[in-house]
A and B are shown apart, each in its own frame.
Chain A
Amino acid sequence: MSARTIQGQKNLQNINQASKDGIGGSPLRPDGNLKVKGEFAYSSDMWHEDMLWGTALRSPHPRATILSVDISEALKVPGVYAVLTHQDIPGSKYYGLEIQDQPALAIDKVRYHGEAIALVAADHPETARRAVKKIKVEYEVLTPIVTEEQCLDPGTYGYVHEPHEYKSHAYGNICHEQRLVSGLGVTDEVRALADVIVSGDYEVGMQDQAFLGPESGLAVPAEDGGIDLYVATQWLHVDREQMAPVLDLPEEKVRLTLAGVGGAFGGREDISMQIHACLLAQHTGKPVKIVYARDESFYGHVHRHPARMHYEHGATRDGKLVFADCRIVLDGGAYASASPAVVGNAASLGHGPYVIPNVKMHAIALYSNNPSCGAMRGFGAVQAAFGYESQMDKLAAELGLDPVELRQLNTMSEGDYMPTGQQIDSPAPVADLLRRAKEMPLPPPLDTAHLDVRQLPGALSNTSHGEGIVRGVGYSVGIKNVGFSEGFDDYSTARVRLEVIGGEPVAMVHTAMAEVGQGGVTVHAQIARTELGVEQVTIHPANTEVGSAGSTSASRQTYMTGGAVKLAAEAVKRALIEKGRRRYGWTHDDITLAGGKVVSARSGALVSMVDLLGDEAIDLTREHHHRPTVPFDKETGQGFGHVQYTFCANRAVVDVDVELGLVKVVELTAVQDVGKALNPLSVVGQIQGGCTQALGLAVMEEIIVRDGKVRNASFTDYLIPTILDTPPIPVEILELPDPHAPYGLRGVGEAPTVSATPSIVAAIRNATGLALNRIPVRPEHLTTELPG
Chain B
Amino acid sequence: MEFLRPATWDEALAAKAEYPTALPIAGGTDVMVEMNFDVHRPSAILDLNRITELTQWSNDGGVVRLGASVPYARIIDELSGPLPGLALAAHTVGSPQIRNRGGVGGNLGAASPAGDSHPALLAAGRDVFVEAASVRGTRLIPIDDFYVGVKRNSLAADELIRAVHIPVADGPQQFSKIGTRNAMVIAVCAFGFALHPKDGTVGTGIGSAAPTPRRAVEAEEYLRGVLAERGLWESGDLLGTEVIQRFGELVKAAASPIDDVRGTADYRRHALAVMARRTLTWTWNDYSKQIRSAA
Contact = CB atoms under 8 A, between A and B. Distances in A.
A558 B74 CA distance: 48
A461 B92 CA distance: 5
A712 B182 contact: no
Contact of A722 (B183, B186, B275): B183
Contacts of B263: 778-780
Contact of A788 (B37, B176, B261, B274): B274
A465 B285 CA distance: 12
A735 interface: no
A39 to B, nearest CB: 18
Contact of A662 (B178, B264, B270, B278): B178
Contacts of B5: none
Contacts of A405: none
B218 interface: no
Given A659-B274, A722-B184, A462 B176 contact: yes
B273 to A, nearest CB: 5
B182 A788 contact: no
Contacts of B264: 780
B73 to A, nearest CB: 13
A723 B264 CA distance: 26
A458 B278 contact: no
Interface string A480-516: 0000000000000000000000000000000000000
B100 to A, nearest CB: 16
Nearest to A782: B267
A67 B184 CA distance: 44
B1 to A, nearest CB: 10
Interface in A686-725: 699-700, 704, 711-712, 714, 716-717, 719, 721-725
A722 B176 CA distance: 19
B278 A467 contact: yes
B175 interface: yes
A335 B138 CA distance: 60
Contacts of A402: none
A783 B182 contact: no
A36 interface: no
A397 interface: no
Interface string B255-273: 0000001111011011101
A459 B92 CA distance: 9
B182 A724 contact: yes
A662 B177 CA distance: 11
B182 A463 contact: no
A724 B183 contact: yes
B267 A661 contact: yes
Given A293-B36, A462-B174, A786-B270, A779 B182 contact: no
Interface in B76-123: 88, 91-92, 95
B180 interface: yes
Interface residues of A, number: 41
Interface in A122-136: 129
Contacts of A465: 278, 282
A295 B37 contact: yes
B171 interface: no
A780 B263 CA distance: 7
Contact of B91 (A460, A700, A711, A778): A460
A129 B38 contact: yes
B65 interface: no
B262 to A, nearest CB: 6
Contacts of A723: 183
Contact of B261 (A129, A458, A659, A711): A711
Contacts of A783: 267, 270-271
A100 interface: no
Contacts of A778: 180, 263
B46 interface: no
A463 B183 contact: no
A260 interface: no
B178 A788 contact: no
Nearest to A710: B261
A784 interface: yes
Nearest to A780: B267
Contacts of A660: 178, 271, 274-275
Nearest to B191: A463
Contacts of B186: 716-717
A464 interface: yes
A457 interface: yes
B7 to A, nearest CB: 28
A664 interface: yes
B215 interface: no
A459 B37 CA distance: 29
A455 to B, nearest CB: 10
B275 A459 contact: no
Contacts of A716: 33, 186
B181 A725 contact: yes
Contact of B252 (A457, A712, A714, A788): A788
A725 B184 CA distance: 10
A462 B175 contact: yes
Contacts of B95: 722
A458 B178 contact: yes
B185 A719 contact: yes
A711 B260 CA distance: 9
B188 interface: yes
Q: Which of A460, A714, A724 has the most CB of B within 10 A?
A: A460
A462 B262 contact: no
Interface in A755-788: 778-780, 783-784, 786, 788
Contact of B273 (A662, A704, A724, A788): A788
B207 to A, nearest CB: 12
A724 B182 CA distance: 6
B179 interface: yes
Interface string A282-311: 000000000001110000000000000000
Contact of B88 (A294, A295, A462): A462
Interface string B181-224: 11111101000000000000000000000000000000000000
Interface string B18-34: 00000000000000010
A129 B267 CA distance: 39
A788 B271 CA distance: 7
Given A660-B271, A661-B267, A786-B270, A717 B262 contact: yes
A585 B33 CA distance: 72
A779 B271 contact: yes
B178 A779 contact: yes
A692 to B, nearest CB: 12
Contacts of B181: 699-700, 719, 721-722, 724-725
A638 B87 CA distance: 63
Nearest to B183: A724
Nearest to A665: B182
Q: Which of A462, A714, A719, A725 has the most CB of B within 10 A?
A: A462
B177 A461 contact: yes
Contacts of B179: 458, 461
Contacts of B252: 788
A463 B177 contact: yes
Contacts of A700: 180-181
A711 B262 CA distance: 10
B33 to A, nearest CB: 8
Contacts of B282: 465
Contacts of A714: 37
A661 B179 CA distance: 10
Contacts of A462: 88, 91-92, 174-177
Interface string A637-661: 0000000000000000000000111
Please provide the 4 A-B residue pairs with the shortest distance between their CB atoms, ordered closest to farther: A788-B270, A780-B267, A724-B183, A459-B182
Given A463-B178, A719-B185, 7 more contacts: A293-B37, A462-B88, A465-B278, A661-B271, A704-B261, A717-B186, A788-B274
23 contacts: A293-B36, A293-B37, A294-B36, A457-B182, A458-B178, A458-B179, A458-B182, A461-B177, A462-B88, A462-B92, A462-B177, A463-B178, A465-B278, A467-B278, A660-B271, A660-B275, A712-B261, A723-B183, A724-B181, A778-B263, A779-B263, A780-B266, A788-B270
